[in-house]
Chain A
Amino acid sequence: MNGGYTLVICEKPDAARKISDALSGGESRSEQVEGTTVFRFNRKGEEFVVCAAQGHLYGVSDPTGERTVYPVFDVEWYSSDLVDEDSASAARRISAVRKLALGASKFVNACDFDVEGETIGYNLLRYACGGKEKSALRATFSTLTEEDLVRAFDDLKPPLEQGLARAGRARHTIDFIWGANLSRALSQSALGSGHRYRTVSVGRVQGPTLGFLVEREREIRTFVPVPYWKASGTFERNGMKLMAGYTRDRIETKQSADKIREECLGREAVAAAVRRSTVMVRPPVPFNIGDLQKEAYRAFGYTPGRTLQIAERLYLGALISYPRTGSQKLPPSIKFRGIIQSLGRIPEYTAHAANLLKEESKPVQGVKSDAAHPAIHPTGERPKRSLEVSESAVFDLVVRRFLAAFGPSARRELAEATLAVGEHEFRLAGGRTVFPGWMRYYGRYAGYRDVEVPPVSEGDRFRVVGVALEEKFEQRPPRYNQSTLLEKMERKEIGTKATRADIIATLVRRGYVSGENMEVTDLGLSVVETMTEYAPSIISTELTREIEGELEAIEGGSRGEAELLRETVRSIVGQLAELNANEEVVGREIDSALTASVARSFVLGKCPICKTGDLRVIRSKATKKRFVGCSNFSSGCRASAPLPQKGTLRTASKPCERCSWPVVYVAGGRRPWRLCVNPNCPGKGKP
C-alpha cells in the first residue's frame, strides 16, 4: 500500500517509548489501539507508528490442547493467550498489531537482536502483519540510547537471512515436543498409579540440569569423612611471638601428628630466607551475561534470574547495553572515551574517569564473542529516575567492571618464609597489593586482601613454644547454588544465555529442588532415577548439547530445521516406547515420590510448643482458609497461627532464630517474602 506509514515492531513497551522518543526528538504522540499504547510521529517526512509486543506473543502447542494426550508431534504456533494462561494480554496486543498493519506500507523489526527477539518479531510480522517477515527491514542496536537508535534507523538493514528466527522457532518447537510428550507420559503414568493429576515435568535442558544436581546430591548424602590433622607452631624470639602453619596441609595419621609435636616442641627453629615474588594480576574481562550473573551472586547474593531481570530494566532505561550477550569483548565502535567522559559526570566515578582519560588505553578483552552484541557496558547515561537498591548495585557493578577493563594490571607482592625445626618446616605466607591498577576502579568487588608477613630474616632463631594439633575431617562437596549451577550449565554447553536462569527457577517451582541451598527433593531424585533406568537419553547431557550444536548450525544457516525436527521426533518416539513399556513401574515410583512430596509440603516444621508434634498447613472446612496447626491438636496442643491466603508457601531451611517457629517464603508477587509464622514472634516489627 503506498502512502501508508512505517510500522515499527518492538519487543517491549519501554523499548517502544525509548525508540519513539529518540527518533522524534521527544515529539511523538501516544495513542491507544485495542487497549495498548502505540506511538506516532513524523521523521524526515515519513510517518512512523511504533508498537510493542510483551515478550513472546505466540507460542507452540498442539491442536488438542489436552495435557493428557500424547504423543503429539503435529504442533502449531498459537497466540500465547491460548497456550499460557499468564499471557492474557497477548490477544489484545496481536489485535493491535493486526489493525495497525492494515495501514502500513513499510515494516521494521526493532525487537532485540538475538534469537528470542528475532523470533518474536518474525512471528508478529508473519502472523499478525500478513506475511511481512521476509520484506520487513531490521533495526539493529545494542543500547537504547538516542545516538544508537538514530544510527540504527538511519541504517536499516535489508531483510536478514532469518537464521536466528528459524533457529528460535526450531528451539521452541523441539522444546515443546520434548517437554510435552515426556512430561505427559510421566504425569500419566503417575495418574495410572492412582495419584491425582499433577504435572511431572521434564524438559530437554531441565533433565540434564536436574541430573547434575542429583549427581552432587548423591555425593553429599553418601559422603563419609575421613579424619586428618593439621599442625601449627607458636614461635618466640626477643619477646616477639608469631604463628606458622606446618608445611604439609594434611597429616594423615594421629601418630604422625603426635610425632611432629614431640620433635618440635621446645626446640629451636631457624628461619630460611624470605622468598618474595611479584605477580601481575590482569583486569577481569568485560561482562557477558553469565559472568554478570555469577559476579552479582558473589557480591550481592542475587540469583541469576533476578540479576537478569535487573539488567533488563537497566537496559530499558538506556543505562547499560543489551544484557543477553555472550560476548566478553568491547569493540572500539562503542566509543570508549565518550562513555568514560559521560560516566565522569556521575560523582562516584568522576575521579576514576578523570584518571582513565589522562591517557589513551584499550580495554582488556575476553575470549568469548557474540556476533550480535558487545559485552555488557554502561551507556554513560545517568539514571533519569531513582534506582532501586538492587538496580543501583548491579549498575555500579557494571560500571566498575567496565572501568576496570581499561585499568593497568595490578601488582601483588607475595612473601613466604620458612621456619625449620630439624626436618620439619613451618610456613608463613602473605601477600599485599603494591600497585592497585584496575583494582582501584573495581573497588570492593576486586576481593584481594592484604596479609603481611612478620619481619623475619634469614638465620633468625626462634624457640618453639607451642605446637597445636587440630583434628579435622574431610569436607563433603558443597551443594550447587544458583550461580555455580549456572556455571556448570555454561561449561557443559546446555541451554542458552537467555534460558538458563529460567530453567533453574523451573526446577525450584516444580518441587525438584527445595530450600535456598538447592537440595534435591525425593521427587527430583525419583524423576532422575526413573529416567536413568528407563529413558536415559532424557537426562543425557550429550544429546542436549548435540541439539544445541545443531541449533547453532541453523542460526548460521548451515543446516535446515526440518531435518533436526525429524531427528528429534525419532529420538522421542524411542524414549516414549521405553517409558510405555515400563509404565506401571515408572508410575509407581513417581507416584510414591509424589505422595511423599505432597505430604511433606504440608509440614512446616516441629511444633515449638509441644516439641513433639508437627506444625502443618491446614485448610478450614468452614471458612476454606488456610492456617497453621499442630498435629498434636487432639492431644491438647493448641499451637496455631494464621497464614497469608494468597501465594505459594515454601519452608525455609532453618526455623526463626527468635522464637523457633517455622519460617516460610511466600511466593506470588514479584519476589518471595520471608515470614515467621508465629504471630507473636518477638522479632516482628523490628528491622
Chain B
Amino acid sequence: MEALRQPQLPGKGEAMKCPICGRKAVTDLCRYHAEAEEKVRLAYPLWVKAYGNIEWKDFLDNVKRNPQTGQWAKEIAELLRG
C-alpha cells in the first residue's frame, strides 16, 4: 500500500506545488519528481527479475540507500515508502 500524497495547496492565483520540492506541480508532482517516479516504477520489474523476487518496500529501501540513485529518485522512493 502506497502512502497517500497530497500536492501542497496553492496560494491565491498560484499553481499547485510539488509536495517534495515546492516547484510547480504538473500532475501532483513537479516535472522532475514525476520523471523520477516514472523511472522508479520502471526499475521495479527489472529488480524483481534480477533478484528473482523483491518486495516493493524492500525495493524502495534499497533504491533509497543506493549511492548511485539520483537525489530526486531517492526522494520519490522515500515518498512512496511512506
- List A residues at the B interface (Cβ < 8 Å): 218-228, 252-255, 473-476, 525, 529, 585, 588-589, 592
**B70/A222 in contact, CB under 8 A:** yes
Q: Which chain B residues in 1-52 approach chain A with CB under 8 Å?
A: 14-15, 22, 24, 31-32, 35-36, 39-40, 42-43, 46-47, 49-52
**B35/A218 in contact, CB under 8 A:** yes
- If A221-B36, A254-B50, A588-B14 touch, whether A226 touches B43 (CB-CB below 8 Å) is yes
The 7 closest A-B pairs by CB, nearest first: A221-B70, A223-B70, A225-B68, A222-B36, A224-B43, A221-B72, A227-B50
- If A223-B73, A227-B51, A228-B50 touch, whether A476 touches B32 (CB-CB below 8 Å) is no
| C-alpha spacing A588/B14, complex, angstroms | 9
**B32/A218 in contact, CB under 8 A:** yes
**B52/A476 in contact, CB under 8 A:** no
**B49/A253 in contact, CB under 8 A:** yes
Number of A-B contacts defined by CB within 8 Å: 67
| C-alpha spacing A474/B49, complex, angstroms | 15
| C-alpha spacing A219/B50, complex, angstroms | 22
What are some 30 contacts across the A-B interface (CB < 8 A)? A218-B35, A220-B70, A221-B32, A221-B36, A221-B70, A221-B71, A221-B73, A222-B32, A222-B36, A223-B39, A223-B68, A223-B73, A224-B43, A224-B69, A224-B70, A225-B63, A226-B46, A226-B47, A227-B50, A252-B49, A252-B50, A253-B50, A253-B51, A254-B50, A254-B51, A473-B68, A474-B68, A475-B68, A476-B68, A529-B31
| C-alpha spacing A113/B22, complex, angstroms | 52
- For chain B, which range describes its interface: under 10, 10 to 19, 20 to 34, or 35 or more residues? 20 to 34
Instruction: List the A side residues contacting B72 at CB < 8 Å.
Output: 221-222
| C-alpha spacing A498/B26, complex, angstroms | 41
Rounded to whole Å, the gap between the CB of B71 and the closest CB of chain A is 5
**A223/B47 in contact, CB under 8 A:** no
| C-alpha spacing A252/B14, complex, angstroms | 47
Rounded to whole Å, the gap between the CB of B78 and the closest CB of chain A is 13
Instruction: List the B side residues contacting A222 at CB < 8 Å.
Output: 32, 35-36, 39, 70, 72-73
- If A223-B39, A224-B40, A226-B43 touch, whether A254 touches B52 (CB-CB below 8 Å) is yes
B30: nearest chain-A partner, CB-CB: A529
**A255/B52 in contact, CB under 8 A:** yes
| C-alpha spacing A227/B50, complex, angstroms | 7
| C-alpha spacing A525/B18, complex, angstroms | 15
Q: Write the B56-82 contact mask toward A (1 if CB under 8 angstroms, else 0).
A: 000000010010111111000000000
A473: nearest chain-B partner, CB-CB: B68
| C-alpha spacing A632/B2, complex, angstroms | 37
Instruction: List the A side residues contacting B42 at CB < 8 Å.
Output: 224
Instruction: List the A side residues contacting B70 at CB < 8 Å.
Output: 219-224, 476
| C-alpha spacing A221/B23, complex, angstroms | 15
**B73/A227 in contact, CB under 8 A:** no
| Partner of B69 from A225, A254, A529, A589 at Cβ < 8 Å | A225
| Partner of B50 from A224, A226, A585 at Cβ < 8 Å | A226
A585: nearest chain-B partner, CB-CB: B15
Instruction: List the A side residues contacting B39 at CB < 8 Å.
Output: 222-224
Instruction: List the B side residues contacting A585 at CB < 8 Å.
Output: 15
| C-alpha spacing A330/B36, complex, angstroms | 50
Rounded to whole Å, the gap between the CB of A26 and the closest CB of chain B is 62
Instruction: List the B side residues contacting A226 at CB < 8 Å.
Output: 43, 46-47, 50
Instruction: List the B side residues contacting A219 at CB < 8 Å.
Output: 70
B46: nearest chain-A partner, CB-CB: A226
| C-alpha spacing A24/B50, complex, angstroms | 77
A477: nearest chain-B partner, CB-CB: B70
B54: nearest chain-A partner, CB-CB: A227
Rounded to whole Å, the gap between the CB of B1 and the closest CB of chain A is 21
Rounded to whole Å, the gap between the CB of A589 and the closest CB of chain B is 7
| C-alpha spacing A255/B54, complex, angstroms | 13
| C-alpha spacing A93/B31, complex, angstroms | 53
Rounded to whole Å, the gap between the CB of B44 and the closest CB of chain A is 9
| C-alpha spacing A235/B72, complex, angstroms | 44
Instruction: List the A side residues contacting B24 at CB < 8 Å.
Output: 589
Given contacts A225-B63, A585-B15, 11 further A-B contacts (CB under 8 A): A218-B35, A222-B39, A224-B40, A224-B70, A225-B66, A226-B50, A228-B50, A252-B49, A253-B51, A473-B66, A476-B69
B77: nearest chain-A partner, CB-CB: A224
**B14/A224 in contact, CB under 8 A:** no
| C-alpha spacing A475/B32, complex, angstroms | 20
| C-alpha spacing A529/B71, complex, angstroms | 18
A593: nearest chain-B partner, CB-CB: B23
Instruction: List the A side residues contacting B47 at CB < 8 Å.
Output: 226-227
Instruction: List the A side residues contacting B49 at CB < 8 Å.
Output: 252-253
A254: nearest chain-B partner, CB-CB: B51
Rounded to whole Å, the gap between the CB of B51 and the closest CB of chain A is 6
| C-alpha spacing A224/B72, complex, angstroms | 10
Instruction: List the B side residues contacting A589 at CB < 8 Å.
Output: 24
| C-alpha spacing A223/B43, complex, angstroms | 10
Instruction: List the B side residues contacting A525 at CB < 8 Å.
Output: 32
| C-alpha spacing A221/B52, complex, angstroms | 27
Instruction: List the B side residues contacting A476 at CB < 8 Å.
Output: 68-70
| C-alpha spacing A219/B31, complex, angstroms | 13
Instruction: List the B side residues contacting A588 at CB < 8 Å.
Output: 14
| C-alpha spacing A100/B77, complex, angstroms | 71
Instruction: List the A side residues contacting B31 at CB < 8 Å.
Output: 529
| C-alpha spacing A625/B42, complex, angstroms | 53
Rounded to whole Å, the gap between the CB of A621 and the closest CB of chain B is 31
A525: nearest chain-B partner, CB-CB: B32
Instruction: List the B side residues contacting A221 at CB < 8 Å.
Output: 32, 36, 70-73
Rounded to whole Å, the gap between the CB of B56 and the closest CB of chain A is 14
A588: nearest chain-B partner, CB-CB: B14
| C-alpha spacing A458/B13, complex, angstroms | 78
| C-alpha spacing A589/B15, complex, angstroms | 11
Rounded to whole Å, the gap between the CB of B65 and the closest CB of chain A is 11
Instruction: List the A side residues contacting B63 at CB < 8 Å.
Output: 224-225
Instruction: List the B side residues contacting A227 at CB < 8 Å.
Output: 47, 50-51
Instruction: List the A side residues contacting B43 at CB < 8 Å.
Output: 224-226
Instruction: List the B side residues contacting A474 at CB < 8 Å.
Output: 68
B17: nearest chain-A partner, CB-CB: A592
A251: nearest chain-B partner, CB-CB: B50
A226: nearest chain-B partner, CB-CB: B46
| C-alpha spacing A228/B50, complex, angstroms | 7
| C-alpha spacing A639/B28, complex, angstroms | 41
| Partner of B52 from A253, A475, A529 at Cβ < 8 Å | A253
| C-alpha spacing A228/B49, complex, angstroms | 10
Instruction: List the B side residues contacting A529 at CB < 8 Å.
Output: 31
Instruction: List the B side residues contacting A224 at CB < 8 Å.
Output: 36, 39-40, 42-43, 63, 69-70, 73
Instruction: List the A side residues contacting B14 at CB < 8 Å.
Output: 588
| C-alpha spacing A474/B68, complex, angstroms | 8
